[in-house]
Chains A and B, each alone.
Chain A
Amino acid sequence: MGDEQKELTSLLAERSIRLDARASDRDDAIRQAGQALLDVGAIDPGYIDAMLERENSVSTFVGEGVAIPHGTLAGKDLVTEDALSVIRFPDGVDWGGNEVTVAVGIAARGNGHIALLSQLATVLLDPERAAALRNATTADQVYGLLTTDDDDDDDQ
């Protein structure tokens, strides 16, 4: 568990988890998810534009009040290291007609983030754990939910 926890925090830094954010609209929420990635040095600033561009072409809303904003294929060159951010908007954000409470920002050039996203999918398919993610108030709760809890995951 120790190694996995360490891996998790290197991908999702504690300061990239912001659980009491406010956003005026979807684009503002995406900028905040991108800013958290920028603050840990995972991306060039232009990546945030790629995130906005991607959202305008295809929504990253995935259900259960969660969106996973990320860049385009072309924007991949602006990623310096794999990283994620978790921004929670307790008041919700209108996401093209869907309400989003949690935005998971993704910057990836490799496959380091796949196990974590797989676990996020598992959480979202379980209504109780999805609600726990939407209601999380501490980084530890977020880490707890996103720590792989089954052994049939692989890294592909």
Chain B
Amino acid sequence: MATIDGSAIKKLIVACDAGMGSSVMLAATLKKQLAKSGVTVEHSPVAHIPADADVVVTQASLAERARGVVPDVPVVPFQLFLGDPSVTKVVKAIQNGETVEV
């Protein structure tokens, strides 16, 4: 579990193994949802997550690797590419500037 302060998030990273397919698609979706919130959404291979990320969204099976790369950044694992409840929670927290546990 990690605590995320939605109002403090400026950069959200979607990570997958290659940064080629899955993360690209989810990043595209989140970018649209967060366009009005002024958050930078980028996709990245899990091994190359930038250190200035404020939150990382990644497939559940890659979460441990992501935590190893950026130990100080909250990592939100997801199961579903479309409409995962954890991802929806983060998006809402950012949109409303709320603090949530993920």
B61 at the interface (CB under 8 A from A): yes
Count the A-B residue pairs with Cβ separation under 8 angstroms: how many?
A: 76
* Contact assessment for A125 and B21 in the assembled complex, using a CB-CB cutoff below 8 Å: no
Please, which residue of chain A has its CB at the minimum distance from the CB of B19?
A73
Query: How large, as a class, is the contact surface on chain B?
Result: 20 to 34
* Chain A residues near B (Cβ < 8 Å): 54, 57-58, 60-64, 68-73, 75-76, 106, 108, 113-114, 117-118, 120-122, 124-125, 152-153, 156
* Chain B residues near A (Cβ < 8 Å): 16-22, 24-29, 31-32, 35, 42, 45, 47, 59, 61-62, 80-83
- Return 25 A-B CB contacts under 8 Å, by A number: A54-B17, A62-B22, A62-B81, A63-B80, A63-B81, A63-B83, A64-B82, A68-B21, A68-B25, A70-B22, A72-B17, A72-B18, A73-B19, A73-B20, A73-B45, A106-B21, A108-B21, A114-B24, A117-B21, A118-B24, A120-B25, A121-B26, A121-B29, A122-B32, A156-B31
